[in-house]
Chains A and B, each alone.
Chain A
Amino acid sequence: GENVEQHPSTLSVQEGDSAVIKCTYSDSASNYFPWYKQELGKRPQLIIDIRSNVGEKKDQRIAVTLNKTAKHFSLHITETQPEDSAVYFCAASNTGNQFYFGTGTSLTVIP
């Protein structure tokens, strides 16, 4: 089955700096890669996703890149703000039915 690894597990950045979270996956059949943000005690919220037919997608301060050959994808947050502090999860899916989640990255943005 699919194995998704996520790094780093914790990340601290100064407000205004950029944050990058990386994930790798093992199943070359995976074709959908969503990213979720989860604040403490709340539900995971979909923040951005990418499908395997594109290499990059951007939404304001958030971008995701995908390298199918290397089987890795990354989340980039620019101009970080304190409200970006949360746990971020990547996931990989090849059917839309089952998502395989990474282990999460706890991001802290220091004011």
Chain B
Amino acid sequence: GAVVSQHPSWVICKSGTSVKIECRSLDFQATTMFWYRQFPKQSLMLMATSNEGSKATYEQGVEKDKFLINHASLTLSTLTVTSAHPEDSSFYICSARETIRDTQYFGPGTRLTVL
């Protein structure tokens, strides 16, 4: 149980385009999902907390207009990187809070490469 999927696993796009990443909890409902960014050999940097049916809470320094988050259902949150630039290239990982064990389970991550 407690499986989180993420799609796509790898995306390459041109500078200026927008990219949508999906995060799904497959076998449990998640009222709260999280979006992280991870640079090579570094820790997980929390970008925002996504709450079902309400606006996301962004961490300091994260542009909410650039990283659009939508948590429209209890099993799906999306992150849209708008007008992507090469500096947005990174590994984006979502996680979902599973309330029985009260812990987070991570998706497999999405590698974004912006040319």
Contacts and interface: CB of A to CB of B under 8 A. Distances in A.
Interface residues of A, number: 21
A102 B97 CA distance: 19
B49 interface: yes
Interface stretch (B11-19, B62-70, B82-90, B101-109): B101-109
A98 B103 contact: no
A104 B103 CA distance: 19
Interface residues of B, number: 22
A49 B103 contact: yes
A101 B95 CA distance: 13
A103 interface: yes
A3 B76 CA distance: 30
Interface string B42-58: 11101001000000000
A38 B99 CA distance: 22
Contacts of B108: 42-43
A89 B46 CA distance: 14
Contacts of B43: 89, 101-104
